[in-house]
Structure 1
Amino acid sequence: MQPSKPMRIAAGVPPPIFPRSGAVVSKRILLPTLAWLGAAGAVGLFVSRQLHNRSDTFDHIFSQQNTPEVEEARKRDLLVETYGDPRNSLLNILGWTK
């Protein structure tokens, strides 16, 4: 018994012609990648601006209260001599740009 021929050959239908796969793949990947990068960049820029605005607001408020008496009370209450200054902590995101 002979193996059956594919239907395409039996019906006399020519094989399909596909465009170059590299061009199709690059178009399918390029647009979503650019859209994702643009959205991520926009969100990053928005967050950065909000952090800078908030940091400037806090700096303005704290500069009005930055008297020697307030600083001494802060050092005493936060145990700065024992645990270190929380302003210099890695978790102080608002203070990173200063």
Structure 2
Amino acid sequence: MTQPASAEPIDPQEDLNPRTTQLNALTRRRQTTTALDDPHPLIRELLHLRAGIRAARMKHANLLAAARATLAAHQDGEPDPCWYLRDEIAAQTAGADA
């Protein structure tokens, strides 16, 4: 009794034409090389993203500090402990509008 030949599953998305596959690889390599020829736009984008992350972290830290101050104010029996959160949210909202 003969065993069926083992065949790898066929990926319908895979191009079976080797010339097209080779051309696609060369195109991707050329695009990568072109992007790396002038690193300045990439560096500017990285600096922009880094500044955005820094701003988001600062907003988060300020909200966390306001939440902690609210909890402490509540524990101390202050008449309006949520003032700290309202003040911080207002400050961040005003900063977003500017």
Bigger Rg over Cα: 1
TM-score by length of 2: 0.41
Structure with higher RCO (Cα < 8 A, 6+ apart): 1
TM-score by length of 1: 0.41
